[in-house]
Amino acid sequence: MRLGVDLGGTKIEAVVIDGNGDECWRQRVLTPQGNYDATLGAIAQLVKEGKRIVGIGPSAVIGIGTPGAETKDGSMKNCNSTALNGRFLRKDLSQLLNCPVKIANDANCFALAEAHRGRGRQVGVFKAEGESTHQCPGVVFGVILGTGVGGGIVVNGTLLTGPNTIAGEWGHNPMPLKGEASGSARVERVERRPCYCGRVNCVETFLSGPGLALSYQQRFGETLRPEEIITRMRNGEGEGEDKENAGFIWREYMQQLAVALAQVVNILDPSLIVLGGGLSMVSEIYQDIAPMMKPHVFTDEFDTPILPALLGDSAGVYGAAWLVDEIT
């Protein structure tokens, strides 16, 4: 058994999964807005109930997934539930529940969940010692292309974190801009995109939904939502010269995605790349991405599967559960 909690800005969800990865219990409550103590209390109540119902001891370890990150001193940062920022969430919960707590950001939980229960189950080859039934690929790179760009790396079923807890933070690599769509004079312009992290031209500033919208706005002067750009890319737009605007921006986006992902492949050579988040649902990505990456990958035989996520909104809570070792 494993118990995981997904702490989101609007809801808190908890799940218990068994040794096969199947769900035994699940419950969700609304996140108390702007109230840290009430948020701790809501999590504690869910955890106690889950443990009681499935028969896990009160002192057993739990996993928590959050959109923010834990800093080296143990306080939280970058949480969209801002009441959590600067708070020692893991320590406070551990004291309140009298059990160890493991914590990871949502991209890491996404990667873990897809490795074990989502796409990894289809592609899987790695079988951990003592795991009789479920298996997952040796190295999985999970990417969220959404409001931001996050990444997580799962090696032989275990999340890779690293001494600075930044493993997989591909979204804040500098975007290799030389790989933009060729054959058009319009790509010559040098852009500087500040990122919230304080750097400039991070991958996230191009490959997130807002990044795609900014590309369109900078090139054509019109502010569109990412989904409007996708619709126009599919349908064509306007008349005459404007007809291909969205198509042009989309090809540029794909070129940027291909070059940025190829850099990950050259370092990590994952067995599987899973894409999640709003933009991952654009089916055109999966027809085009591998051939577009191939010239930038250091092999002539590039056939790494690049697939859309299977678990949708549930990835966070399943991934949180997989942060912890099996409780028997």
Which neighbouring-strand residues pair with 17? 2, 23
Q: What number of other Cβ atoms are within 10 A of residue 198's Cβ?
A: 8
Q: Which lies closer to Zn ion via its Cβ, residue 155 or residue 197?
A: 197
Shortest CA distance to 209 belongs to which of 190, 188, 192, 223? 223
Cα separations in angstroms, 326 against 4, 9, 20, 60, 164: 12, 28, 10, 10, 26
Note whether 121 binds Zn ion by CB under 5 A.
no
User: Is residue 195 within the footprint of Zn ion (CB under 5 A)?
Assistant: yes
CB of residue 203 vs Zn ion: minimum separation in angstroms? Answer: 8
- Distance CA(198)–CA(24), nearest Å, equals 43
Q: What backbone phi and psi angles, to 5 degrees, belong to 50? A: -60, -45
Sign of CA dihedral 123, 127, 131, 133: positive
As measured in angstroms, the least distance from the Cβ of 277 to Zn ion is 16
78: its two tokens: 């970058």
Should residue 172 be labelled a site residue for Zn ion when binding is judged by CB under 5 A?
yes
| 134 versus 172: smaller Cβ distance to Zn ion | 172
**Strand 23-30 to 11-17 pairing:** antiparallel
Q: Using only C-alpha atoms, what is the Rg of the chain?
A: 21
Point out which span in 5-13, 164-172, 268-276, 306-314 binds Zn ion (CB under 5 A): 164-172
Closer to Zn ion by CB, 142 or 211: give it.
211
**Binds Zn ion (CB under 5 A): choice among 24, 197, 281, 290:** 197
Distances (CA, A) of 114 to 107, 143, 202, 314, 324: 11, 10, 25, 10, 16
Q: Is 220 exposed, middle or buried (0-12, 13-18, 19+ CB in 10 A)?
A: middle
Decide whether 104 or 195 has the Cβ nearer to Zn ion: 195
- Shortest Cβ distance from residue 198 to Zn ion (Å)? 7
* Rounded least distance, CB 260 to Zn ion, Å: 13
Q: Which is nearer to Zn ion, 125 or 200 (by Cβ)?
A: 200
Determine, following the binding rule CB under 5 A, whether residue 214 of this chain makes contact with Zn ion: no
The yes or no reply on residue 202 touching Zn ion (CB under 5 A) is yes
Asked if 153 interacts with Zn ion (CB under 5 A), we say no
Q: Which stretch binds Zn ion (CB under 5 A): 147-155, 158-166, 184-192, 193-201?
A: 193-201
Instruction: Give the nearest distance from C-beta 254 to Zn ion in angstroms.
Output: 21
Q: Please select the residue that binds Zn ion; options are 193, 199, 219, 294, rule is CB under 5 A.
A: 199
Q: Is 44 in the site for Zn ion (CB under 5 A)?
A: no
Nearest approach, Cβ of 179 to Zn ion (angstroms)?
19
